[in-house]
Amino acid sequence: MKKYVKAIVAIIIILTLIYAGKKLGLSGKVGEFREWIASKGSLGPLIFIFVYAAATVMAIPGSALTILAGAMFGSFIGIITVIIGATLGASICFLLSRYLARDLISNIFQKNEKFKKLDDLTEKHGAIIVAITRLVPIFPFNLLNYGFGLTKIPFKVYVLWSFLCMLPGTVLYVVGVDAIVTAITKGEIPWVLIFIILVVFVILFFVVKKARKRLKDEQV
């Protein structure tokens, strides 16, 4: 009975957070949010991190906030705020799902061979699976945050590989926006930033290719 209560509580919490995110419509109030963050001075980046994390938990698309970080804080601070906020939010989603719903889901699908195989694979090849799904947008980001909590993947593995594999995309977005803003405001081509974007893109390409090969070799 306790398992059902925990699962119901988890569903209520998650749905409430997602509903609150939709009602707040943060992505549609970027201008107001930017002014508010700017008014906080040196505390702005720290506040931004927690807002980003909360938005992730509420399943609010983070693309607008990621772009805003690049425009407001530049490449270095922008990357730090986004990756920490995204990782923190993803971790909270995972913990909510893991400790409130996993037991019930496992019991319901314990005789389902596909679920058992997926569950076992995430325990054995968790790092590879997290890497692939983070680097290649096969599944929605917010779905993955809650979905991985229902598997056997260790929390530390999930957090580490989520952080590492969300970082390249974060760099591309933030540095790309910073490059555009710099070009517009200063009227010059930011070659250093463009070089960073190209390097990250090439690295990302080969990492994804290698991860897919490893996945195939392991017959996951």
Q: Which of residues 156 and 63 earns the better pLDDT score? A: 156
Q: How many CA atoms lie within 13 A of 193 on its CB side?
A: 21
Least confident of 34-43, 60-69, 113-122, 199-208: 113-122
Query: Residue 21: is its pLDDT beyond 60?
Result: no
- Cβ-based neighbours of 192, under 8 Å, separated by 6 or more: none
Residue 7 has pLDDT above 70, yes or no: no
Distances (CA, A) of 40 to 67, 72, 94, 114: 19, 13, 30, 50
Please give the average per-residue pLDDT across 154-176, as a whole number.
90
For the chain, the domain total comes to 1
DSSP state of 214: H
DSSP label at 154?
-
Least confident of 23-27, 67-71, 213-217: 23-27
Tokens encoding 14: 């998650």
From residue 27, give the alpha-carbon distance in Å to each of 54, 105, 121, 138: 13, 32, 36, 23
Q: Which of 4-8, 83-87, 179-183, 194-198 has the lowest mean pLDDT?
A: 4-8
The pLDDT of residue 155 is 93
Q: Which residue would you say has higher pLDDT here, 90 or 145?
A: 90
Return d(Cα 43, Cα 168) in angstroms, integer: 26
Contact 146, 91 (CB under 8 A): no
Upper half-sphere CA count for residue 124 (Cβ side, 13 Å): 10
Identify the band that residue 106 occupies on the pLDDT scale cut at 50, 70 and 90. low
Domain range enclosing 110: 2-217
pTM score of the predicted model: 0.78
Q: Does pLDDT of 22 surpass 60? A: no
> What is the overall mean pLDDT for the chain?
78
DSSP category for residue 90: H
